Amino acid sequence: MNGFFFFQSRFSRPIKLLRFTFAFLCLLCLSACLFACRKDVRYFDYVSELRSNVFLATDENFSLRVYSLVKESPYSADGVPRERNTRTEIWLTAPSGNTECSLSFTVGEKTYGGEMSFDNVKAEFYLAFPLDSSALSQIDCTLTYGETEYALSAKSVLEERTLSAETVLTNLVNAEAELFASMTDKYGFAGEIYLRLIYEDSPYYYVGVIDRNGKTNAFLINATSGKILAKREA
């Protein structure tokens, strides 16, 4: 009997070591497979909403925001990216929503604009049209409010040090490797991404990673350093 226990003790360690080595190798293979899947995917192709530039102008009567967007249509946070359209959206806060309001500006030799509609929910005037304004640094607008014309010069919030949207997403993929790997297989990325430049005293990026069930992992990112400032699940 003592010989049996000696035999069992003698060979139990090598067997445990062999099991540990096998499990470790399996883990390495799994990690390599996940990495390979993630490495071959260009996640920027799954951005279904991209806000790459923001222009701001204010005076004593008005507050103007202009957004350069690429946006899916139909627009739905369901984890499925669709065909995207390039557009410029304009939002205007004015003294009253009961006054007729129109806005125009010129890019190159073409004039854009028109009559603005009033959004009762946001209490703002709104206008949108197909235009890629992402590369502009300033938009000089003529605002007609009632019978009076105003000149508003909306300047881009982008700074020399501001990271591009694609760089911010690449950094996030590296920082949140487990999240992106869990949503990626050999067929691609099983979700969609919202990537918005926002401005609150300085520029930031909001990134929403949305799975096929509509669950969103949201991140607030410093637009200069790329540092993740906050994150939450919704």
State the pLDDT at residue 40. Answer: 79
Find residue 133's DSSP bridge partners.
none
Bridge partners for 57 per DSSP: 64
pLDDT tens by residue, 178-204: 999 999 998 899 999 999 999 998 999
CA distance 61 to 11: 85
Task: For CA atoms 212, 213, 214, 215, give the dihedral sign.
Answer: negative
- Domains of the chain, first to last: 54-156 (2.60.40), 160-233 (3.10.450.40)
For the segment 145-174, what is each residue's pLDDT rounded down to a tens digit? 999 999 999 999 999 999 999 999 999 999
Angle, CA of 190, 196 and 201, to the nearest 5°: 150
CA dist 122 to 93, 97, 117, 126, 164, Å? 9, 11, 12, 10, 29
Q: Which amino acid is at 12?
A: S
Residues in the chain: 234
Whether the upstream peptide bond of residue 203 has omega within 30° of 0, thus cis, is: no
Q: Report the alpha-carbon distance of residue 198 to residue 221 in Å, rounded.
A: 10
Instruction: Read off the pTM.
Output: 0.81
CB neighbour list of residue 105: distance below 8 Å, 6 or more residues apart: 111, 112, 113, 139, 140, 141, 142
Percentage of the chain with pLDDT > 70? 83
Strands 47-58 and 191-200, bridge-based pairing? parallel
Question: If pLDDT is split at 50, 70 and 90, which confidence band does 7 have?
Answer: very low
